[in-house]
Structure 1
Amino acid sequence: MQTHYNHAGHALGKPRLLIIGCGDVGLRIVALLRGRYRIFAVTTQRERMQTLRDAGAIPLLADLDRPATLARLAQLAPTVLHLAPPQPEGAIDRRTRHVTAILPERTTLVYVSTSGVYGDCGGALVDETRPVQPRNARAVRRVDAERSLRAWARRSGSRLAIVRVPGIYAGDRLPLERLQKGIPALAEADDVHTNHIHADDLARTVVAAMRRLQPQRIYHAVDDSDMKMADYFDAVADAHRLPRPPRLPRDQLQAQVTPAMWSFLTESRRLSNRRLKTELGVRLQYPTVADGLA
Structure 2
Amino acid sequence: MTEANARRLVIFGCGYSARRFVGLFGSRFATIDATSRSADGAAALVADGLMAHVFDGTQTSPALAAAIATATHVLVSAAPGEAGDPTLRGAGSALEAAETLEWIGYLSTIGVYGDAGGGWVSEDTPPAPENERGLRRVEAESDWLAFGRRKGVSAQIFRLAGIYGPGRSAVENLRAGTARRLVKPGQVFNRIHVDDIAAAVAAGMERPDVGPVINVTDDEPAAPQDVVAYAAESMGLPTPPDIPFETAELSPMARSFYSSNKRVANTRLRRELDVALGYPTYREGIAALVRGSVEEG
Q: TM-score, normalised by structure 1?
A: 0.84
- Look up the SS of the partner of 2:255 in the other structure: helix
Query: How far is 1:81 from its partner?
Result: 0.8
Unaligned runs of 5+ in 1: 1-6
One-letter amino acid of the structure 1 residue matched with residue 147 of structure 2: W
One-letter amino acid of the structure 1 residue matched with residue 108 of structure 2: S
Match of 2:7 in 1: 15
Quick one: structure 1 residues 108 and 48, their matched pair in 2 at CA, closer, same or farther if it must change by over 3 Å?
A: same
Q: Summarize deviations over 1:96-142 as a string: whole Å, max 9, x none.
A: 43343321365410100001001111111111010111112221211
Match of 2:182 in 1: 185
Query: How far is 1:233 from its partner?
Result: 2.5
Match of 1:79 in 2: 73
One-letter amino acid of the structure 2 residue matched with residue 128 of structure 1: E
Q: Summarize deviations over 1:209-240 as a string: whole Å, max 9, x none.
A: 12212266100111112311221232233334
Is 1:92 paired with 2:84?
yes
One-letter amino acid of the structure 1 residue matched with residue 68 of structure 2: A
Match of 1:161 in 2: 156
Quick one: structure 1 residues 181 and 15, their matched pair in 2 at CA, closer, same or farther if it must change by over 3 Å?
A: closer
- Look up the SS of the partner of 2:143 in the other structure: helix
Match of 2:103 in 1: 108
The correspondence for 2:258, drawn from 257, 262, 265, is 265
* In 1: Cα distance, 2:59 partner to 2:211 partner: 25
Greater Cα shift, 38-47 or 75-84: 38-47
Greater Cα shift, 178-187 or 283-292: 178-187
Query: How far is 1:183 from its partner?
Result: 4.1
Match of 1:43 in 2: 36
The correspondence for 1:118, drawn from 113, 117, 129, is 113
- Look up the SS of the partner of 2:155 in the other structure: strand
Any conservation in 2 of the 1:184–1:248 contact (CA below 8 Å)? yes
The correspondence for 2:232, drawn from 237, 241, 245, is 237
The correspondence for 2:22, drawn from 27, 30, 37, is 30
* In 2: Cα distance, 1:203 partner to 1:83 partner: 12
* In 2: Cα distance, 1:293 partner to 1:279 partner: 27
Query: How far is 1:54 from its partner?
Result: 5.0
Quick one: structure 1 residues 31 and 177, their matched pair in 2 at CA, closer, same or farther if it must change by over 3 Å?
A: closer
Greater Cα shift, 33-42 or 111-120: 33-42
Quick one: structure 1 residues 18 and 80, their matched pair in 2 at CA, closer, same or farther if it must change by over 3 Å?
A: same
* CA RMSD, Structure 1 to Structure 2 (Å): 2.5
Query: How far is 1:293 from its partner?
Result: 1.1
Quick one: structure 1 residues 230 and 101, their matched pair in 2 at CA, closer, same or farther if it must change by over 3 Å?
A: farther
- Look up the SS of the partner of 1:149 in the other structure: helix
Quick one: structure 1 residues 292 and 68, their matched pair in 2 at CA, closer, same or farther if it must change by over 3 Å?
A: closer
Unaligned runs of 5+ in 2: 288-297
